[in-house]
Each structure stands twice: as C-alpha cells, then as structure tokens.
C-alpha cells in the first residue's frame, strides 16, 4: 500500500513537469525579448530602438505571454494527461471543462454571498479575472485540482454503461458530464475551505520567507530528488501562498513565479519593483545554477581524481557527459544518482552545501534566473539584464565549488 502511494506521489510530481517544461523555454524567449526592449539596452545598442525591430520584439513577448497568462489551465491539462491511465485525450478535454465550471461556480458563490469585489479592488481581496470570469485567486492549484479530478473520472467512468434511453451519454461522454457535476460542487466548496488553507500556507511562508528560507528550499529540493518529489516541493512555494504574496502596481500576485514573471518580463530593471527581485529569485533558478555551474564540475573532478587510474578514462567520459548534461539541459539526476545511494550521508552534506550557498546568494542580493539553471539561462537572465549582481554570484559559486571539491575528495 505504501509503495503504491509513493509511486502515485512520484507520478504526480513528474506530471508537473509538463506545464513547467513549456514555461521554461517560453520564459527564455520572454527573457531575451524583455531584455532587448529595456531602455538601457536600447541606449547600448541603438539598433534595438528601430521601430520594426522593437515592434517585433514586443510582439514576440506578447505572444509568448499567453502561456503565463494561463498557467492554471496548463496545469489542468498537464496533470490530467500525466495522471490518467486510460484515455488521456478525454482526461485533458474533461479537465478544461471542469476547470471552467469550477471558475464560474466560485464566481456564483462569491456573488451569492456578497463577496464579489469591485474590479478595482479585487486583487487586494484575493480575487482575479481568469478567462473573463472574476473568481477566487487559487492560481495553479485550481488547475491541478481540475486535472486530478479529470484523470480520476476518466479512469473510473470511461467505460460506464447506462440504460438504453441514456446510452448516448455512456462511456467516454460520461466523463466530462461527471466532471461538470464534481467541479461545480468543488467550486462552491473551495471558497469556504480556501480561507483555512491560506492561513496554513501563510504560516509556512514564515519559514520560507525568513533569512534561512533559501536553505530549506534549496536543500529540500536536493533531498527530494531521489524520491521524485522535488517538483511537488518547488511548486509549493512557486505557486501558492507558501511563497508569499506580492503587491505590484496595486495587483496582488500569489507565489513566487507570478510575481517574478511580472517584474522580469513586463517591468524590467528600471522599475521600482526590481528591488523585489532578490527576494524572488532566491527561490528559483540561481539555486539550481549553483549545482549545474559550480557544484557539479567540482564533484566530477573529485570523482575523477579519486578514481583508480585504470578507470579514469571511463570515469572522465562519464563525468564530462554528466556535467554537460546539467549545464546545457538542466538535468542533474545522472550525477546525483551516482552517489546518493552509495553514500547517503555525503548526499545530505551536498544538499546542505547547496542550501548554504543559496543563503549566501540571498544575502548578496543576487537576482538571476527564472526556472531553469542552465548556462544559457545565466547568460540571458544574469548578463543581459542590469542589477542582477552576477559578479557576486560567480564569487560565491567559486567558493562553493572549492568547498564541494574538497568535501567529495
């Protein structure tokens, strides 16, 4: 029973990669176009001020922003696809319908109870406009709920048999109908439960948002990787109240990613809100960059140096592959799995080193990155943007690299 439960949790964590896998490359595109339309970049490279080029860049950014404007919908479809075992197409279709029904049901509840806020102040009371519907701001969690319900309903009812009079609605057609009923009930229930959930996540945010917060988030991510739960862990503070709430230009953003997206891609370094960046990026890719750019080369070198001479050619090729894979593809598991099961204690020490490095980046007010920790992301979000403090990042990274090398050696 416990093994089956753990497998389900791991599977759920992997499904979160589907929407995140879309957000990461689109985020890079928005990062590049967002940097090139900043006033300081136009001053450096006047050609960027050319109307045709500027319009093209702004247009690309606007097109790419549709992904981030619909994050909950991406999670609904991604979770439904990843979690369903039977007909994945029906699951995705039902998740979209279910998500829309949940939105309007919450709108009805807010309206009936007299809690539907005026559009001018709705963000201040936790409400938001989603696909033209004013509803409760539950962000990606709403999409995840819709996806889980759709996946369950698909696996449970896709072969449902009904009396002849209702045979047209049997089988696959019944899944969407059942999802409509379930999500309507959830839609009028969630607003009542949400207040208690928000209170709990707000208490958890006290830990994450403390000076030691980056240690827990970074070390926790490394610790959860062997169990496949790191994506679930990251989503907790990236998309919920556990990551804090941020008021930007009068609008409230829940979780780190929505706030970071607004400042990084829409406002830029010239905005007064750029000062918030270090408090946001400390939970994001700059933690991963410590691994891919500094810790991994150090670990690989230590393993090569301590291996038997007759094995060094094989170890060398293996380590180079692992390091390049992490640097270019943000995939860290091959190298981490090479020692986590052999020496769990060493892996725990490694996780703590990354955690301490993340704290150091936070104290140095480093503001680099988005979701992925590749060397490309460092070039885009660290070097192209102003006020990222990338020099401090390199200094801290080199120190961490030395500590990691001698620890593993």
* Arithmetic mean of pLDDT, 312-334: 81
Secondary structure (3-state) at 115:
coil
Question: Burial of 128 by CB count in 10 Å (0-12 exposed, 13-18 middle, 19+ buried)?
Answer: buried
Condensed to tens digits (0 to 9), the pLDDT of residues 353-401 reads: 999 999 999 999 999 988 788 888 898 888 888 889 999 999 999 999 9
Name residues whose C-beta falls within 8 Å of residue 12's C-beta, 6 or more positions apart in sequence.
79, 82, 83, 148, 232
Helices (H), 290-343: 296-306, 312-329, 333-340
d(CA 129, CA 405): 50
Mean pLDDT of the chain: 84
Rounded to 5 degrees, what are φ and ψ at 176? Answer: -65, -40
* Whether the predicted pLDDT of 285 surpasses 80: yes
245-248/133-136 β-pairing: unpaired
Condensed to tens digits (0 to 9), the pLDDT of residues 94-113 reads: 999 999 999 999 999 988 88
Cα 382 to its chain centre, rounded Å, is 19
pLDDT (0 to 100) of residue 239? 81
Q: Are 84 and 154 in contact (CB under 8 A)?
A: yes
Percent of the chain at pLDDT above 70? 94
245-248/251-254 β-pairing: antiparallel
Q: Are 214 and 358 in contact (CB under 8 A)?
A: yes
Q: State both tokens at 164.
A: 């002849």
């Amino acid at each position: 029973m416990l093994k089956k439960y753990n497998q389900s949790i791991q599977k759920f964590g992997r499904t979160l990669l589907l929407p995140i896998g879309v957000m990461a490359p689109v985020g890079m595109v928005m990062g590049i176009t967002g940097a090139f339309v900043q006033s300081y970049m136009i001053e450096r490279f006047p050609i960027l001020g050319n109307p045709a080029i500027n319009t093209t860049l702004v247009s690309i950014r606007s097109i790419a922003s549709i992904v981030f404007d619909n994050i909950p919908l991406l999670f609904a479809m991604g979770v439904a696809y990843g979690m369903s075992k039977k007909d994945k197409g029906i699951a995705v279709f039902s998740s979209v319908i279910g998500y829309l029904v949940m939105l309007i049901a919450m709108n009805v509840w807010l309206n009936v109870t007299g809690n539907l806020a005026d559009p001018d102040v709705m963000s201040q009371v936790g409400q938001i406009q989603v696909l033209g519907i004013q509803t409760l701001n539950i962000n990606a969690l709403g999409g995840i709920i819709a996806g889980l319900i759709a996946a369950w309903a698909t696996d449970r009812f896709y072969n449902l048999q009904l009396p002849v009079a209702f045979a047209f609605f049997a089988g696959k057609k019944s899944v969407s109908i059942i999802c409509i009923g379930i999500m309507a009930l959830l839609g009028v229930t969630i607003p009542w439960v949400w207040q208690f959930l928000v209170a709990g996540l707000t208490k958890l945010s006290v830990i994450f948002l403390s000076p030691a917060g980056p240690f827990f988030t970074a070390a926790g991510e490394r610790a959860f990787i062997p169990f496949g739960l790191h994506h679930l862990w990251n989503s907790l503070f990236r998309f919920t109240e556990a990551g804090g709430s941020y008021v930007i230009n009068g609008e409230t953003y829940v979780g780190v990613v929505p706030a970071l997206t607004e400042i990084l891609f829409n406002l830029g370094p010239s905005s007064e809100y750029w000062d918030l960046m270090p408090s946001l990026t400390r939970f994001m890719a700059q933690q991963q960059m410590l691994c891919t750019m500094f810790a991994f080369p150090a670990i690989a070198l230590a393993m090569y140096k301590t291996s038997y001479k007759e094995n060094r050619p094989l170890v060398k090729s293996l380590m180079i592959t692992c390091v390049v894979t992490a640097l270019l593809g943000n995939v860290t598991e091959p190298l981490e799995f090479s020692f986590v099961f052999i020496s769990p204690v060493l892996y725990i020490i490694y996780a703590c080193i990354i955690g301490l490095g993340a704290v150091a980046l936070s104290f140095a007010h480093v503001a680099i990155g988005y979701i992925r920790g590749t060397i490309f992301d460092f070039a885009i979000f660290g070097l192209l943007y102003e006020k990222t403090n990338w020099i401090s990042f390199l200094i801290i990274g080199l120190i961490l690299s030395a500590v990691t090398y001698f620890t593993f050696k």
